[in-house]
Structure 1
Amino acid sequence: MRGGDIAGLLIRQARLQRDWSQEGLCRGICAPSYLSKIEQGKAAPSPEVTELLLHRLGLVWTPEPEGLAPCWKALLSGSPNFDSLYEQLVQPRREILAFSPLAADALLLDAFYADEMRPLPVEWEPFLSTRQLALQRGLQGRWEEAVRLEPLPLLAAHYGEFLYAEGEYTAAIEVLRDAYRSASDAGYPHLMLSCRLWMGNCYSDLGRMEEMLTHYSVAERLAEALRDTGSLSALRYNVASTQLELGQPEKALPYFASLPRPGFLDLHKLAICHEQLGHREQALTAVQQAEPMASGEMEQRMLALVRYRLEHPDYLHDDTYGTQLLDCFQRLRDTYPMGFTRFHLPWVLAWYKANRQYRQACRLLEEFPAK
């Protein structure tokens, strides 16, 4: 265990906000030297001293609040119950927890609940336990360091997801495999499912269909046992998307065409399936259905490229199309996960080849090795 008494940090923060001196705050309660040690986390004050100091600052100290163990258990196990437990145990008691021994716990749980990965201010770090500091490193995006500090299955799984997003698929697979084993040892089936999904995603982006299906089949059995309909839908979408990316639109089409309530990405890929199979009218219908759903600029750009190809048969020799395509591709590289960029790679290569820009095509193939 590391870290000091969190009360010291809270006292220091409140004192500085009021621009009070240590001498003024502690007069009649304790010596200034003792307050200095408390604020540095080098001395653990008694509940009475803590309460008196915070009371003078106009704050109420709660020495023994209701524990947050169920919330922590749900977070660390990857349980979908985490959100509801947070809303029950943390959200209504934020003000109480903010001035209690569980202040850091509440802030960390809040960061994971909000899914913004917002770390605590650096000044909190000397007061954090090893586990809390590991979670803090994760929130800072320093996942490898987080796993070294405390090899929690949750942190390892997030590290694998981070590597996947960076396009480091081989490294991600190794990390996720270890995370899966540790989640299995700990009895965390939801994290096991997540790890298998992400390993399948890695093999999907690598174009290795057999390995992808192996991991997805295990993930499917786990999702069925857990009655996780969201993960089942994601699995089936990913399989069809990979088939489309590998040039098998006839295999992907039945999935995308059968969805009762397709979303934007479903319709985007349905349009491309029809486009590649020569079904121009069906492709345009799918584009028209998707257009009202394109909420962001990139979604609009991705869909506009499909429409342009359908409406301009000679698009490969059309400078307007080339400008739109290359701009969209660069924006995807800058802001989206690698999978989105790879999906659009064949159209960029086709453009370069049709316009005899072989050097650019070779450079791109070096950056995106063939699967």
Structure 2
Amino acid sequence: MGGNFIGNLLRMERIKQDKGQKEICYGICVVSYLCKIEKGQVRADEQIVMKLFANLGITYCNDSQLLEEGRKLIEQYYYQMNYGLPREAFVEVKALGACLGYSELGLDYRLICGLEGEDVYELVKSCKDCMTEEQLGIFYLLTPIESKWEEILEAYEKAHRILGTSYSLLKVFIPLYQLGHYTEIQRRAKICRELAVEEGNTYILAHTFFAQADAYATLDLDELMLEHYERGLRLMQHTHWQGDDEPVYYNMGAVYLTKKDYEKAMMYLNKMTKESFLLYQKKALVCIRSGRLEEVQLYLEGMKTYIEKEDESEAHQLMYEEALMELKEDYLKDPDYLELMEQLIKVLEQEKHFGYIYFYREQITQAYRKQKKYKKAFEFQEEISSKMTMM
């Protein structure tokens, strides 16, 4: 255990229960001593800690055998996480949660729970000043996904500087992709592969190729995209990771859609087993643009259902409306379509990454030209080109 987790835990539990320091320490120690424990200014006597926890209704665990088992499970969990293995150790760690959560391993236990999606960020954040370097690295990986992507990137960068693993570097690619820093992904990919090879980490090696391919897919560099996807897929063959190939097939389908190779686009999209709004959207556009109108209604209904039931994204609503507009004859000449596209681009800039805008670049450019707005077409293309140069 590092730092002052016990002191933080005592303070948090006390405040949570709306109890004062005097009420908690009465008959155990003086208020000033409890204050020092909570601030981490003293290493509290174990018996005093146990009595303080008892006053809060908490059983503090100091069973040496159980704690040793907990340490081994925590170490096993991080190995499984870093190498993309099933995180079976978490089940066992969780089973010991009632004890580990109130022991010297309490902070490590909560960090692992955070990695598994539990809402512990604010709890562990209060312990930030008392964390070990390794705990701090893991803490930065818990940065809420609702944060701004610039903030997530900064946190993940800090995590990697501390942890120095291929896993932590691969996490950095997520905000880089969302921010449209595709060139930086390619630069970092070489470093990530070298780390993965050094670690003997096939999982990260494969996903590094996927990350590069995702960046190439966004820019319609189909030959480079295919080359890197195929490398990753070969590494994943005959492993339990084969379920990770769904995003690969989606991106390949989306690229072939923009290339107007509708047969290949649908072939790859049909390889996906998980339904999503974006999958229905891409299949709908394949059918519309290839003239397979007898099938399109199924996918439009799928998009609509996602929006009505579980999707509050304004961008998705506008993407659905755009697909409906494409069913109309000479829709590119319709001022309403151009107005819709301009609104969609603005919303995509706020909600999504650059790849979404790049996907629609041909549609809006054609609409500008069909409606003889050549200056706007040129300005839009210049803006797209300048962003790509910055990437």
- Tell me whether the two structures share a fold, i.e. TM-score over 0.5: yes
Q: Is 2:159 aligned against 1:156?
A: no
Q: Is 2:302 aligned against 1:290?
A: yes
User: Which is worse superposed, 18-27 or 355-364?
Assistant: 18-27
Deviations 1:228-281 (A, max 9, x none): 23223332332232222234335424434677887653443233234333x253
8 A contact 2:249–2:269 mirrored in 1: no
Distance in 2, Cα, partners of 1:319 & 1:52 = 74
Q: Is 2:308 aligned against 1:302?
A: no
Instruction: For 1:27-176, list aligned pairs within 5 A.
Output: 27-64=26-63, 65=67, 66-67=69-70, 68-79=74-85, 81-82=86-87, 84-90=88-94, 92-114=95-117, 118=121, 120=123, 122-140=125-143, 141=152, 142-176=155-189
Distance in 1, Cα, partners of 2:334 & 2:27 = 82
Instruction: For 1:265-280, list aligned pairs within 5 A.
Output: 265-277=278-290, 279-280=291-292
Distance in 2, Cα, partners of 1:116 & 1:26 = 30
Matched to 2:318, the amino acid is R
Distance of aligned partners of 1:169 and 1:230 in 2 relative to their CA distance in 1, 3 Å threshold: same
Matched to 2:302, the amino acid is A
Q: Is 2:260 aligned against 1:243?
A: no
Distance of aligned partners of 1:235 and 1:17 in 2 relative to their CA distance in 1, 3 Å threshold: closer
Distance of aligned partners of 1:118 and 1:315 in 2 relative to their CA distance in 1, 3 Å threshold: farther
Distance in 1, Cα, partners of 2:16 & 2:109 = 21
Distance in 1, Cα, partners of 2:162 & 2:258 = 39
Distance in 2, Cα, partners of 1:291 & 1:216 = 27
Alpha-carbon distance, 1:121 to partner = 5.0
Kindly tell me the number of residue pairs found equivalent between the two proteins.
Answer: 365
Alpha-carbon distance, 1:51 to partner = 0.8
Alpha-carbon distance, 1:291 to partner = 4.4
Residue 207 of structure 1 aligns to a residue whose secondary structure is: coil
Matched to 1:57, the amino acid is L
Matched to 2:100, the amino acid is L
Residue 198 of structure 2 aligns to a residue whose secondary structure is: helix
Matched to 1:281, the amino acid is L
Deviations 1:190-232 (A, max 9, x none): 2222222111101111322232222212210121142423223
Distance in 2, Cα, partners of 1:87 & 1:360 = 57
Q: TM-score under structure 1 normalisation? A: 0.85
Distance in 2, Cα, partners of 1:167 & 1:158 = 15
RMSD (Å), alpha carbons:
3.0
Matched to 1:162, the amino acid is P
Matched to 2:200, the amino acid is G
Alpha-carbon distance, 1:149 to partner = 2.5
8 A contact 2:177–2:185 mirrored in 1: yes
209, 216, 224: which is aligned to 1:211? 224
Q: Is 2:7 aligned against 1:11?
A: no
Distance in 2, Cα, partners of 1:113 & 1:55 = 29
Distance of aligned partners of 1:44 and 1:191 in 2 relative to their CA distance in 1, 3 Å threshold: farther
Distance in 1, Cα, partners of 2:343 & 2:120 = 29
Deviations 1:283-339 (A, max 9, x none): 6355456346533354453233223222x2121222322233222332222212332
Distance of aligned partners of 1:342 and 1:286 in 2 relative to their CA distance in 1, 3 Å threshold: farther
- Percentage of identical aligned residues: 23
311, 316, 319: which is aligned to 2:332? 316
Distance of aligned partners of 1:307 and 1:365 in 2 relative to their CA distance in 1, 3 Å threshold: same
Distance in 2, Cα, partners of 1:216 & 1:115 = 32
Distance of aligned partners of 1:217 and 1:260 in 2 relative to their CA distance in 1, 3 Å threshold: closer
> Which stretches in structure 2 are left out of the alignment for 5+ residues?
144-151
Distance in 1, Cα, partners of 2:276 & 2:12 = 47
321, 334, 342: which is aligned to 2:358? 342
Distance in 1, Cα, partners of 2:106 & 2:262 = 53
